[in-house]
Structure 1
Amino acid sequence: MYKVFVKELPLILTNNLSEITNSKYFLLNGESIQEAIGLLSKKKINEAYIYHPNHEELLKKFCKNIPRVVAAGGVVTNKEGKVLFIYRNDKWDLPKGKLDKGETIEECAIREVEEETGVKKLKIENFLRTTYHIFKRNGQFKLKEVHWYAMKTSYDGELKGQKSEGIEKVKWKGPKKIKKALTNSYVNIKSLFGE
């Protein structure tokens, strides 16, 4: 099963018919996928399922209809145990960005955190999870697949938001401030904190 978010609403790709109880489900073809995304983005339905019997083929076939953009980012913790957040598009988010040609996903995660926040001395601890969401670029829906890593840093220098990426603020946040930030964040970001 893959949970893909469309305007914060779930589009679930599944090979298990028993998961689809009273929800609307769509076939795994271009027309049906576009219809499901359209209904979710207009908030005409609260969730949608796309069914295909073969789990291995689900994402592959979905990406034949909706181009995939691979990205990576980090949940970065400093020596005080605070987590690095960025603020853009009126939401608290975590630093992440698109994979460049020839780079590994881990290299991408570190580069993007550095570029978006100015934080250096990053060390990947472990892989956390992959999240998915749909966005629209030039009138076309695309699937963003983000690979998230837990990172540590001993950096205590200046935080610099990447203006060209629309980042207004970069902040270290402790438990109370994280909880508050997550009330104005994205479902996929909340999922990284177990919410």
Structure 2
Amino acid sequence: MPQTKACGFLIVKGNPIESFLLMKHPKRWDLPKGHVDEGETDMQCALRELEEETGISAEDITVDPNFRYQLQYVVNYKKKFGGADTLKTVVYFLARLDKEVELNLTEHGDAQWFAWDPPHEIQEQTINPLLAAVAQHVGRTA
């Protein structure tokens, strides 16, 4: 089975967390993320994609060095890999927005800051487990 890897961020506001950012696709919510380019580290990819998709730069955030969440699932890319099922690995990092920034959306129709009030029921396959892992993580580090 072909494999692909993407990396991204869960961006939060507040300490403790008050809200988190999601990007709107036509049929679902998602996080700023994208596929790893050749020679990139996971963090380099996540930072690049964050800035490309939202305008939020590395200077605007503080990355939590103790949080890294990885999941795998099967997707079917109709245009890639000849339409074959593909094992996708996604790595998410956690970062706090240090200052207000105006979002510059380039790949999504909309974005929204959601109130932090776990447990969250947004998207079962990827977002819910990530948010649960963050809730557990910040509960340990609070």
TM-score by length of 1: 0.57
SS in 2 for 1:84: strand
| Alignment CA distance shift 1:116-1:186 (3 Å) | farther
Equivalent positions of 1:46-61 (< 5 A) are none
Question: Do the aligned partners of 2:118 and 2:132 also contact (CA within 8 Å) in 1?
Answer: no
The residue number in structure 2 matching 1:159 is 103
Equivalent positions of 1:129-148 (< 5 A) are 129-137=69-77, 138=79, 139-148=83-92
Q: 2:106, 2:118 → 1: CA distance?
A: 22
Number of equivalent positions: 124
Equivalent positions of 1:64-143 (< 5 A) are 66-79=1-14, 81=17, 82-120=19-57, 121-125=60-64, 126-137=66-77, 138=79, 139-143=83-87
What percent identity do the matched residue pairs reach?
27
| Alignment CA distance shift 1:171-1:178 (3 Å) | farther
In the TM superposition, what is the alpha-carbon distance from 1:176 to its structure 2 partner? 5.1
Find runs of 4+ consecutive structure 1 residues off by over 4 angstroms: none
Q: 1:130, 1:176 → 2: CA distance?
A: 22
In the TM superposition, what is the alpha-carbon distance from 1:177 to its structure 2 partner? 10
| Amino acid across the alignment from 1:93 | D
Higher helix residue share: 1
Query: Structure 2, unaligned stretches of length 5 or more?
Result: 134-142
Question: Do the aligned partners of 2:34 and 2:45 also contact (CA within 8 Å) in 1?
Answer: yes
Q: Which has the higher contact order (CA 8 A, sep 6+)?
A: 2
- The correspondence for 1:169, drawn from 80, 92, 110, is 110
